[in-house]
A and B are shown apart, each in its own frame.
Chain A
Amino acid sequence: MAIEMRRGRYGKFGGQYVPETLMTALIELEKAYEEAKADPAFAEELDYYLRDFVGRENPLYFAERLTAKIGGAKIFLKREDLNHTGAHKINNSLGQALLAIRMGKKKIFAETGAGQHGVATATACALFGLECVVFMGKEDIRRQELNVFRMELLGAKVVSVDKGSGTLKDAVNEALRYWVANVEDTHYILGSALGPHPFPEIVRDFQRVIGVETRRQIVEKEGRLPDAIVACIGGGSNAIGMFHPFVEDEAVALYGVEAAGSGIATGRHAAAIADGKEGVLHGSYMYVLQDEDGFIQEAHSISAGLDYPAVGPEHCHLHSIGRVTYSSVTDAEALEGLQILSRTEGIIPALESAHAIRFAVELAKDMRQDEIVVVCLSGRGDKDMQTVREALGGGVE
């Protein structure tokens, strides 16, 4: 199956809907990335840091007690939560930081929602001695105070964005404005498989390591490919990295899990595939949560990392051709998923990943015991303890 119909497009999705001022930077980035891809030394250097700094490869772990409790398919977890900085985000931040260095750019900026991408980017910048500015919504800064402190400790400057609703969408707007004004010497490390071409491709390629390792590991352990793979979707970077090496394997069912927030029917959610319309946001043609006038709506999710009103263009395409099945899980259900995994396996997942866990549990129930489900455990839950405690009313059920 040919996914990429033409440069920067996934079917009709994707593209480069940005101000002219940024076009030269995007063209330059595309060229630099093509050269880096063709240079074995670049891959070697990235591999070195992924291994010795991030701690890859991380395990594909058989969740035996969870499997026994559910009584269906065998459940495996791809442990991105064990990466340095606690999530898959570092894979992309490191890759793009090395790319920026190749391009001779010493100044970096990024947007962040929950702060995971901001922390990962601040980390990569500290590692390589790059200047780092992170844009973060005012509301997110309030919700994720500790991550702000982490970024500052790592030497980054965190800029509060109080426009709009002060969340991720507004942080991206401000980041794009900043780029327009500083385009000549500054690289934008975009954190998800979003934005104008070539970002969705670059982010996907740097996250592909998740799926590539998983493929090798499951064959080693089980002698075959899995029957199903599950990953959560905000912008969709962990999911596209996990799915991409399996897209051609039609026998492997792929499931993307969006955040249904308080429930799709309430309108307070972040499920752009379930409830969005085609449109343009942040440089890309995607499914976008918007009103009838084309104004972008706020997303809502207990998980700040899924709190974005659109889904990356490659996911939109995979949805439109029916290759990936997209579903959604509510805040309450995700909290259940988080508790189940904590109790059965001693792993507290990030709220984002808890969406995937909850969906996988339901899926596995109806599958045979000799079937295999792999879940991308995209991050660990440490960052969410305050939110989870509040949501559970101060105690556990």
Chain B
Amino acid sequence: MKTVEKRIRECVSNGKKAFVPYMMAGDGGLDTLHHKLIFLEKCGATAIEIGIPFSDPVADGEVIQQAGERALANGVSLRKVVEELSGIKGKVSVPLILMTYLNPILAFDMKLFIDRCLEIGIGGLIIPDLPLEEDGLLRERLEGTDIALIPLVSLTSSDDRIQDIAVKAEGFIYAVTVNGITGGRDHFGEEVVEHLKRVKAVSPLPVLAGFGISRPSQVEQLGECTDGVIVGSAIVDAFYRDDLESVRSLMNTSDGKFKIGIS
């Protein structure tokens, strides 16, 4: 069992739910990465998802696209994020998950990239443009490492497909809760809850819901039928506005009913 999965399971077996915040590396300057990671860890993050900016982010909504553009304007790249993370190795103890589009990894060189991830102790990779059909090579190279290749399932994935993805999944299953790109949504309908229950039923791994979760009430709603949630745009936006209080309150929203995080 890879560390990411272990941490989520520990969290769940303590009667809590996992909370994985997403942040865009380099938004506000790469030198702020370190402090933000420590802050998120202190707020009770189960793991932290670090977004890598890309020139053509087709799976991202407005908020994250703009954060990515700001990071790109700061000269941030996958290479630089990896360097920065090498420098803060050991200072953050929750698993770090890199979310990057495929092309920066190819440009970096896949083998070299994995070697660097192993040195730093990266706990997982989420690659939004690498579906099951195309992930064979990377999967092979991650075999036997502690880096989990975390797959996405969507509302459009058929039952057979969800099954195929679940069988090969590592770490956890990232269940996408909207047909759409990342970003806040007003509410989640019954079909989303049903979908999450279906994924949960077939998955041998923990299931975390993500995309469009931006409010405490949504965290609670979706937390109920999964093992936890991933929150992106709302955290990115709060960091951008330098509103640490709202990051903290989002992550601790469920005190009482749900205890989010392992803190």
Write the chain A residue with the least CB distance to B75.
Answer: A293
A20 and B131 within 8 A (CB): yes
**Which residues of B sit under 8 angstroms from A394, Cβ to Cβ?**
none
**Which residues of B sit under 8 angstroms from A23, Cβ to Cβ?**
131-133, 154, 156-157, 161
Size of the chain A interface, CB-CB below 8 angstroms: 37
Binding site for A on B (CB under 8 A): 54-59, 65, 72, 77-79, 101-108, 128-134, 151-158, 161, 165, 176, 179-181
CA of A281 to CA of B165, assembled, Å:
23
**Which residues of A sit under 8 angstroms from B179, Cβ to Cβ?**
21, 180-184
Write the chain A residue with the least CB distance to B102.
Answer: A280
Q: Which of A53-61, A131-139, A169-177, A325-333 contacts its partner? A: A169-177
**Which residues of A sit under 8 angstroms from B79, Cβ to Cβ?**
293
Known: A283-B129, A294-B107, A296-B56. A20 touches B157 (CB 8 A): yes
A293 and B77 within 8 A (CB): yes
Looking at B59, B79, B152, B158, the one whose CB has the most chain A CB atoms below 10 A away is: B59
* Interface residues as binary, A260-294 with B (CB distance below 8 Å gives 1, 0 otherwise): 00000000000000000111111100001011111
* Cβ-based interface call for A163 (8 A): yes
A280 and B161 within 8 A (CB): no
List of 4 A-B pairs having minimum Cβ-Cβ separation, nearest first: A294-B107, A293-B77, A294-B104, A181-B180
B130 and A17 within 8 A (CB): yes
CA of A281 to CA of B54, assembled, Å:
11
A16 interface neighbour in B128, B131, B153, B181, Cβ under 8 Å: B131
**Which residues of A sit under 8 angstroms from B130, Cβ to Cβ?**
17
* Cβ-based interface call for A154 (8 A): no
B106 and A183 within 8 A (CB): no
CA of A81 to CA of B139, assembled, Å:
48
* Cβ-based interface call for A393 (8 A): no
CA of A282 to CA of B102, assembled, Å:
11
**Which residues of A sit under 8 angstroms from B157, Cβ to Cβ?**
20, 23-24
A180 and B180 within 8 A (CB): yes
A294 and B105 within 8 A (CB): yes
* Cβ-based interface call for A128 (8 A): no
B65 interface neighbour in A163, A180, A277, A290, Cβ under 8 Å: A163
CA of A18 to CA of B154, assembled, Å:
12
A selection of 10 A-B contacts at a CB cut-off of 8 Å is: A17-B130, A20-B156, A21-B154, A21-B179, A181-B180, A183-B179, A279-B103, A293-B78, A293-B107, A294-B106
Write the chain A residue with the least CB distance to B128.
Answer: A19
* Interface residues as binary, A8-35 with B (CB distance below 8 Å gives 1, 0 otherwise): 0000000111111111110000000000
Closest chain-B Cβ to A193's Cβ sits at a distance in Å of: 19
CA of A279 to CA of B180, assembled, Å:
25
**Which residues of A sit under 8 angstroms from B158, Cβ to Cβ?**
24
User: Inter-chain contact count A-B, CB under 8 Å?
Assistant: 119
CA of A169 to CA of B78, assembled, Å:
21
CA of A18 to CA of B181, assembled, Å:
12
A169 interface neighbour in B56, B103, B105, B181, Cβ under 8 Å: B56
Known: A17-B129, A293-B107, A294-B106. A180 touches B151 (CB 8 A): no
* Interface residues as binary, A157-187 with B (CB distance below 8 Å gives 1, 0 otherwise): 0000001100001000100110011111000
CA of A19 to CA of B157, assembled, Å:
11
B58 and A176 within 8 A (CB): yes
Closest chain-B Cβ to A169's Cβ sits at a distance in Å of: 7
Q: What 9 additional pairs, Cβ within 8 angstroms, besides A19-B129, A23-B157?
A: A15-B134, A17-B102, A19-B59, A20-B132, A21-B179, A23-B131, A184-B156, A280-B101, A293-B108
Known: A19-B154, A20-B151. A290 touches B180 (CB 8 A): no
**Which residues of A sit under 8 angstroms from B156, Cβ to Cβ?**
20-25, 183-184
**Which residues of B sit under 8 angstroms from A16, Cβ to Cβ?**
131, 133-134
CA of A176 to CA of B101, assembled, Å:
15
**Which residues of B sit under 8 angstroms from A48, Cβ to Cβ?**
none
Write the chain B residue with the least CB distance to A277.
Answer: B107
**Which residues of B sit under 8 angstroms from A181, Cβ to Cβ?**
179-181
**Which residues of A sit under 8 angstroms from B151, Cβ to Cβ?**
20
Looking at B54, B131, B157, B180, the one whose CB has the most chain A CB atoms below 10 A away is: B131
B58 interface neighbour in A19, A25, A277, A279, Cβ under 8 Å: A19
A294 interface neighbour in B103, B133, B153, Cβ under 8 Å: B103
Closest chain-B Cβ to A89's Cβ sits at a distance in Å of: 23
CA of A16 to CA of B128, assembled, Å:
12
A278 and B106 within 8 A (CB): yes
Closest chain-A Cβ to B252's Cβ sits at a distance in Å of: 31
* Cβ-based interface call for A295 (8 A): yes
Looking at A20, A278, A291, A294, the one whose CB has the most chain B CB atoms below 10 A away is: A20
Closest chain-B Cβ to A222's Cβ sits at a distance in Å of: 45
Write the chain B residue with the least CB distance to A23.
Answer: B131
CA of A377 to CA of B48, assembled, Å:
54
B56 and A279 within 8 A (CB): no
CA of A16 to CA of B135, assembled, Å:
10
A295 and B58 within 8 A (CB): no
B152 and A293 within 8 A (CB): no
**Which residues of B sit under 8 angstroms from A281, Cβ to Cβ?**
56, 103
B55 and A296 within 8 A (CB): yes
**Which residues of A sit under 8 angstroms from B104, Cβ to Cβ?**
293-295
CA of A283 to CA of B58, assembled, Å:
10
**Which residues of B sit under 8 angstroms from A295, Cβ to Cβ?**
54-55, 72, 77, 103-104
